[in-house]
Amino acid sequence: MFLSIVLLCLCIFFILQLRSRRPTNFPPGPPIVPILGNIWTLSLDNPLKDFDRLRKTYGNVYSLFLGPKPAVVINGMKVIKEAIVSKGTDFAGRPQDLFINDVIERKGVIMADYGSNWREHRRFALMTLRNFGLGKNSMEDRIHGEIKYTVKTLENSIGKTLSPQVMFHNAASNIICQVLLGTRFEYDDEFIKVIVQCFTENSKITNGPWAMLYDSLPIIRNLPLPFTKAFKNAETCRKIVIRMVNEHKKTRVPGEPRDLVDCYLDELDKRADDGSSFSEDQLIWFTLDLHFAGTDTTSNTLLTAFLYLMSYPHIQERCQQEINQVLERKDQARFEDRHRMPYMQAVIHEVQRIANTVPLSVFHCTTKDTELMGYSIPKGTMIIQNLTSLHNEEGQWKFPHEFNPENFLNDQGEFVKPEAFMPFSAGPRMCLGEGLARMELFLIMVTLLRKFRFIWPEDAGEPDFTPVYGVTLTPKPYHMKVELRSQ
C-alpha cells in the first residue's frame, strides 16, 4: 500500500514537471517549482519590483510560470513595439482562464478574445463614441458641465483642507455616465457611491495576491476565500445596470438614441436573431467595462497630477502663467487650446508617464505560434507588458527617474512626444477611451489651475509618492489646501 502511494506521488510529480517545463527556444526565466511555478519568486502584494529584478537577470524577454501556466514578460520599447505594434495581430489575444474572466462572466469588450465578438463590439464602441461627439464641442461641453460641480466643491473648501479622492472619482464617473447612460448623478447618489466603491475594491483584488493564487491553483476556486468579494461586487454592479437598462427600454424612442445604451438597444432591434455577439447580457458587461475604463484610470491620473503639482509649486506656477496667457480673453478652455500650451501639454504627459496608472497594461496572449526577438512563443501564451520598464527606460527619456516636464519638451520649448510614451498601450488592443481621457485631463487640469492654487498642507508631513498597487496604481490618500487665484 505504501509503495503504491509513493509511486502515485512520483507519477503526479513527473506529470507536473512535464507540464511546467519551458518549451524549446522559449524565453529564459527562474527555476520552476511544481504546482506553484514561479509564484514563490514574486511578491503577491506588488510584483513590479520583482519584474524589474528578473529583467536585470534574464533580459527584456523572459518567462514565468503562474502555477502550471507559462507567461512571457516583455520589457523596453524595442521589444514591446515589436510585439504590440509590428506583430500586433499575433499578440492581440486575451487569456480566457483568468480570475477576471470568471468575475465578468467572460463578457464585455476589454477581456474579450481576439475574434468576431471583440471586433463587433470595439467597432460599435468607437462609432458610438464618435457619434456622441468625441473630439467635438458636444463632448467638451459635457466635460465642462461636470467641471462646474468640481469647481463648486473646491470653492466650498477654500480655507480648509480637502481630500480629493472622491471628488475626482465622481467627476470622471459622471462624464462617462453621460455618454453611456445619458445622465449625471449627484455625488451622494447610491449609483455613484456603490459603483465607485465596487470598482475600487475589485481593482485591488484583481491584481492582488488572492487573484494570483486563484489563477495558479484551480483547486481553491470554490473555497470561501477573500477573492469571493470581487464576485459579489460584480453582481451588485450588474444588478444596478440591469435596472438602468430596463428604465431605458421604457423611455427610449427607437432610432432616436440619447446615449450608448439606446444605441446598443437599437442595434439589437436591427440584428434580431442574426447570430451576432450582441445581446442584453453583453450590454450589461459592455457598459460596466467602459465605465470602469473611463473612471479609474482618469481619476487616478488626476490624483497623481495634483499630488505632484503641489509638491512642485514652481511647475504649477509656470502652468498657470501659460494658461493665463493663452486664455486671457476666453471664458473657458477648449481642447484645441492645447496646441498653444506646450508646457501644459508636457506636464500632463509627464504626469501620465510618472503615474504609470496601468503598469502591466491588460494581459495579452498570442493568437498563433509566433516569434519575438528570436524566441519561439506558442499560441495561447500569456503576454505581460511591463510598461514601467518602458516609461523609465534609460536612453528614452532625458530624466527617466524623476518628475520633469522637460521629458516632453525639445530645446526650443516645443512639445514633443517620445516614441516610448505608451500609457494607453498600442496596436489593435489600444485603449478605446484614449481620446476621451486626453480631453478630460486637459480641460479639467487647465480649468482648475486657472481658478485655484493648490497647496500641500503644512501639517501633512512630506508627500508620499509611493502608489497603492492594483489593476491601476493609485496614489495614497492625501489632502490639499485650496486658494482662489486672482484672474
Q: What are phi and psi of 452, to 5 degrees?
A: -125, 155
User: By mean pLDDT, which of 62-71, 77-86, 307-316, 381-390 is the weakest?
Assistant: 62-71
Range of the domain at 222: 2-484
Report the Cα–Cα distance between both ends of the chain, in Å, rounded: 88
User: By mean pLDDT, which of 104-118, 125-139, 151-165 is the weakest?
Assistant: 125-139
- Per DSSP, the chain holds a count of helices (H) and strands (E) of 16, 9
- Distance (Å, whole) CA 153 – CA 168: 11
- In single-letter form, the type of residue at position 235 comes to E
**Mean pLDDT across 118-129:** 89
127 confidence band (pLDDT: 50, 70, 90): confident
Residue with cell 440591469: 242
Share of the chain above pLDDT 90, in %: 59
Domain at 346, CATH number: 1.10.630.10
Residue 243 has pLDDT above 70, yes or no: yes
In the chain, % helix, strand, coil (3-state, to 5) comes to 55, 10, 35
456 confidence band (pLDDT: 50, 70, 90): very high
452-455 and 382-386 beta bridge pairing = unpaired
Residues 6 or more apart whose Cβ sits within 8 Å of residue 182 = 258, 259, 261, 262
Q: What are phi and psi of 162, to 5 degrees?
A: -135, 140
Structurally, the chain folds into a number of domains equal to 1
pTM of the model: 0.91
